[in-house]
């Protein structure tokens, strides 16, 4: 009785599963496949169908048994099918959609195999087919005449019609090696359960493998996709080999690579999309060439990625991609102005690293905005410092500083989308329809931050990036605007205390970072700050010489000799030229750097100098220099704590004597004094006397000394970030 119950349960379960299977097939509109016999095959061969406007042999929804134990049928299958396909006056396609192929399938047995001799090709194929075979995009070497040893001639198998394999199930190995598909291949959602060999193939007009499943290795070595290769949502579970292949663009969106993927030495002529792809094993693009844009947006790499010696003509987009292993960009090459976009890139794994040529890879990396990328940039800096690529880490630091400046610039001068008119929104980069949508939405609820505009259907990411540095979303200003509507009230709005303080603090932050960026490259550019120092030392040296040596013209002149004047002016020109050369070679914005330097060097010293010569000088010791030197020692000294005025204590004062005006080398003392004030070291301890000196001259000396303290801080800060090991704290996590 118990056995009967078990049997009934099994029977009911079988009936239920069978019914479910039939209902699914009915829902999909696909009939149950039937076994292909020679009689049915002959019938289908004699009556080609018109499938999607193309003449083809219809072998859909069939079970085709070509296993070794069915050798007689297999031989007849290949012979009859090949004869029909190749003897047709017009190209005849083959449709194996929704069929099950049992056993190994050899596509080469169904094509026309010809030697690559021009005369032979013309005798076998039509004029249109000959043009396809001889086209430059096919990359075939066609011989004009037979060689002395015909056996050594390369041969090619040609499929004249289209091959359609939609949802075809290959239960054995598949071999399409060295075949030229003149009408292309449609293999959407095909299931290759064993190894699939598509090496040395040429696919024209159509190459669609979208949704196809490769359960074991897939070999596409040295294949030529004359049309765009469509692999959208394909699933490669084993080894994938595209080494040496040539693509006229490709779509690999949402492709899954379960095994290693080899794209080494590939060539990509048109734009390629690898977005949202998953790479479970290593991926290789070594020595590949991308002649158009390539996107790996939102792709995930669970192992290493190799881009060594790869060439990119356009930007490489890795937006929102993630890696868990090593991404190697050694010897990579980008066209001028093209970058590696890693916006919102993620590499949180401890094993994740980005590697490239020292001093180069850091210049290639870019992100459009600081928002959402601060953590990424911090990890990149740590990544390069751990590899002792200090220059690249500094490039990322510089990028972060520039992005922060852009953010503050937007806060200061950006257009508030909560208060701006439609025309103003259009002027900063929005489309008219987008601007109207923003105005309509903000009336109901003001935008709290700029990111909220991405929630609107009319606005995409490209628009957001365009307006990011030109627009802000300040709900506080919008509330103030609602409360103050008249002209006077608008003035009150602008002078609103809290809002004004926030603006002022932002402006001060922006000025501080702008100065650091222009004078030091945000602590990453030692040649730049070195050039700035040379210009400043030469400038103040000339000023001190002018104040000290050019006292008056009448009644009795107190002026330098012509030789001293020539030496001073000539040396100033040389030093300044050296400094300017350093600035122009190191700075990305030399004009702004000189403008910033001029703000510190020209207004205050120029004003002091003008007042001094306007008033004149009528004090004691007018024929004695303002500068004194420590006469007890002559040596190179480090004077961090030295002040620029002579000490008051009598025993110290006895050691300080006025410098000698009558020496031909006297003009060097002014550069030494300027060097003491700015860099805190020099060849002698030179100080300003504290008696019978105009207060404005003392003010000028203290002004340079104060600038010297700031300059020394910036110099040491820059050195600590550019010389490995100088500051070990930068390596701490």
pLDDT tens digits for range 600-651: 999 999 999 999 989 888 878 788 888 888 877 777 777 777 888 887 777 7
Contact between 389 and 364 (Cβ < 8 Å): no
Burial class of 101 by CB neighbour count within 10 A (0 to 12, 13 to 18, 19+): buried
- Whether residue 570 has pLDDT greater than 90: yes
Give me the pLDDT at residue 303, please: 93
- Whether residue 22 has pLDDT greater than 50: no
Burial 390-413 (b: 16+ CB within 10 A, else e): bbbbbbbbbbbbebbbbbbebbee
| Most confident range, picked from 315-324, 342-351, 408-417, 644-653 | 315-324
Contact between 471 and 438 (Cβ < 8 Å): no
- Whether residue 666 has pLDDT greater than 90: no
pLDDT 10s digits, 275-291: 999 999 999 999 999 99
HSE, CB side, 13 Å, CA atoms: give it for residue 727: 12
Q: What percent of the chain lies above the pLDDT cut of 90?
A: 54
Which residues lie below 8 Å from residue 301, measured CB to CB, with a gap of 6+? 279, 283, 321, 322, 323, 324, 325, 327
Which residues lie below 8 Å from residue 70, measured CB to CB, with a gap of 6+? 103
Contact between 320 and 343 (Cβ < 8 Å): yes
Average pLDDT, the chain: 86
Over residues 155-168, the mean pLDDT reads 93
- Whether residue 418 has pLDDT greater than 70: yes
Give me the pLDDT at residue 21, please: 42
Angle of CA points 211, 171, 39, to nearest 5°? 110
- Rounded to 10 degrees, the C-alpha dihedral 595/601/603/604 comes to 150
Burial class of 35 by CB neighbour count within 10 A (0 to 12, 13 to 18, 19+): exposed
CA atoms of 476 and 492, how far apart (whole Å):
14
Composition of the chain by helix, strand, coil, percent to 5: 45, 20, 40
pLDDT 10s digits, 356-406: 999 999 999 999 888 889 999 999 999 998 898 988 999 999 999 999 988
CA atoms of 223 and 201, how far apart (whole Å):
5
- Whether residue 411 has pLDDT greater than 90: no
DSSP 117: B
For the chain, the distance separating the N- and C-terminal CA atoms, rounded to the nearest angstrom, is 73
Contact between 356 and 364 (Cβ < 8 Å): yes
CA atoms of 84 and 117, how far apart (whole Å):
24
Contact between 507 and 701 (Cβ < 8 Å): no
- Collapsing DSSP states into helix, strand and coil, what is residue 430? coil
List strands edge to edge, sheet with 686-688: 656-658, 627-630, 686-688
Burial class of 365 by CB neighbour count within 10 A (0 to 12, 13 to 18, 19+): buried
- Whether residue 416 has pLDDT greater than 80: yes
Over residues 267-271, the mean pLDDT reads 95
Domain boundaries, the chain: 28-220, 228-358, 525-722
- Whether residue 476 has pLDDT greater than 80: no
Confidence category of residue 708, pLDDT binned at 50, 70, 90: very high
Q: Whole-prediction pTM value?
A: 0.81
Which residues lie below 8 Å from residue 530, measured CB to CB, with a gap of 6+? 582
């Amino acid at each position: 009785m118990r056995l009967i119950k078990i049997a009934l349960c099994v029977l009911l379960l079988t009936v239920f599963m069978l019914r479910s299977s039939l209902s699914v097939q009915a829902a999909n509109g696909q009939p149950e496949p039937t076994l292909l016999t020679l009689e049915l095959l002959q019938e289908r061969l004699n009556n080609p169908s018109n499938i999607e406007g193309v003449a083809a042999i219809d072998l859909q929804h069939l079970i085709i048994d070509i296993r070794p134990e069915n050798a007689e049928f297999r031989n007849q299958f290949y012979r009859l099918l090949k004869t029909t396909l190749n003897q047709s006056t017009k190209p005849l396609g083959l449709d194996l959609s929704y069929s099950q192929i049992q056993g190994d399938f050899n596509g080469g047995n169904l094509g026309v195999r010809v030697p690559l001799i021009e005369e032979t090709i013309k005798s076998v194929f039509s004029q249109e087919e000959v043009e396809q075979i001889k086209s430059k995009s096919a990359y075939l070497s066609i011989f004009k005449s037979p060689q002395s040893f015909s056996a050594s001639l390369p041969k090619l198998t040609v499929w004249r019609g289209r091959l359609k394999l939609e949802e075809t199930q290959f239960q054995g190995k598949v071999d399409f090696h060295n075949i030229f598909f003149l009408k292309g291949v449609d293999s959407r959602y095909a299931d290759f359960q064993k190894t699939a060999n598509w090496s040395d193939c040429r696919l024209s007009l159509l190459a669609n493998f979208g949704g196809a499943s490769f359960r074991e290795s897939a070999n596409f070595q040295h294949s030529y996709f004359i049309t765009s290769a469509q692999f959208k949502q394909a699933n490669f579970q084993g080894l994938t080999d595209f080494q040496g292949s040539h693509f006229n663009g490709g779509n690999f969106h949402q492709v899954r690579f379960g095994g290693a993927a080899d794209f080494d030495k590939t060539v990509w002529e048109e734009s390629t999309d690898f977005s949202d792809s998953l790479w479970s094993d290593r991926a290789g693009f070594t020595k590949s060439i991308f002649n158009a844009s390539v996107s790996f947006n939102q792709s995930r790499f669970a192992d290493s990625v190799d881009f060594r010696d790869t060439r990119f003509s356009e930007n490489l987009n890795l937006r929102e991609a993630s890696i868990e292993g090593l991404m190697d960009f050694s010897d990579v090459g980008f066209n001028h102005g093209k970058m590696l976009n890693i916006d919102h890139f993620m590499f949180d794994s401890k094993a994740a690293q980005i590697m490239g040529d020292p001093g180069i890879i850091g210049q290639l990396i870019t992100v459009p905005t600081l928002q959402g990328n601060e953590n990424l940039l911090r990890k990149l800096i740590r990544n390069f410092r751990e590899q002792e690529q200090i220059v690249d880490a500094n490039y990322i630091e510089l990028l972060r500083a520039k992005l922060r400046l852009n953010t503050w610039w937007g806060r200061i001068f950006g257009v508030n989308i909560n208060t701006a008119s439609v025309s103003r929104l259009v002027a900063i980069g929005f489309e008219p329809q987008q601007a109207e949508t923003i105005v309509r939405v903000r009336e109901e609820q003001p935008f709290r931050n700029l990111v909220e505009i991405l929630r609107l259907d009319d606005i995409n990411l490209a628009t957001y990036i365009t307006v990011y540095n030109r627009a802000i979303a300040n709900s506080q200003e919008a509330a103030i605007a609602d409360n103050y509507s008249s002209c006077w009230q608008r003035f009150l709005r602008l002078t609103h205390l809290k809002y004004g303080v926030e603006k002022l603090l932002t402006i001060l932050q922006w000025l501080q970072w702008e100065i650091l960026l222009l004078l030091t490259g945000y602590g990453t550019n030692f040649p730049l700050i070195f050039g700035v120092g040379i210009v400043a030392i030469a400038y103040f040296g000339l000023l001190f010489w002018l104040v000290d040596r050019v006292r008056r013209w009448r009644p009795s002149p107190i002026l330098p000799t012509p030789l001293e004047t020539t030496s001073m002016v000539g040396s100033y020109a040389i030093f300044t030229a050296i400094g300017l050369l350093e600035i122009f070679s190191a700075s990305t914005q030399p004009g702004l750097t000189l403008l910033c330097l001029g703000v510190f060097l020209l207004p205050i010293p120029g004003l002091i100098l003008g007042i001094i010569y306007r008033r004149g000088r009528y004090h004691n010791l007018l024929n004695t220099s303002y500068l004194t030197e420590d006469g007890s020692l002559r040596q190179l000294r480090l004077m961090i704590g030295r002040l620029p005025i002579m000490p008051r204590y009598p025993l110290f004062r006895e050691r300080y004597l006025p410098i000698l005006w009558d020496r031909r080398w006297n003009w060097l003392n002014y550069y030494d004094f300027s060097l003491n004030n700015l860099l805190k070291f020099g060849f002698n301890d030179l100080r300003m006397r504290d008696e019978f000196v105009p207060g404005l001259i003392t003010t000028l000396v203290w002004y340079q000394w104060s600038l010297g303290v700031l300059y020394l801080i910036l110099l040491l800060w820059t050195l600590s970030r550019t010389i490995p090991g100088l500051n070990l704290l930068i390596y701490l996590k």
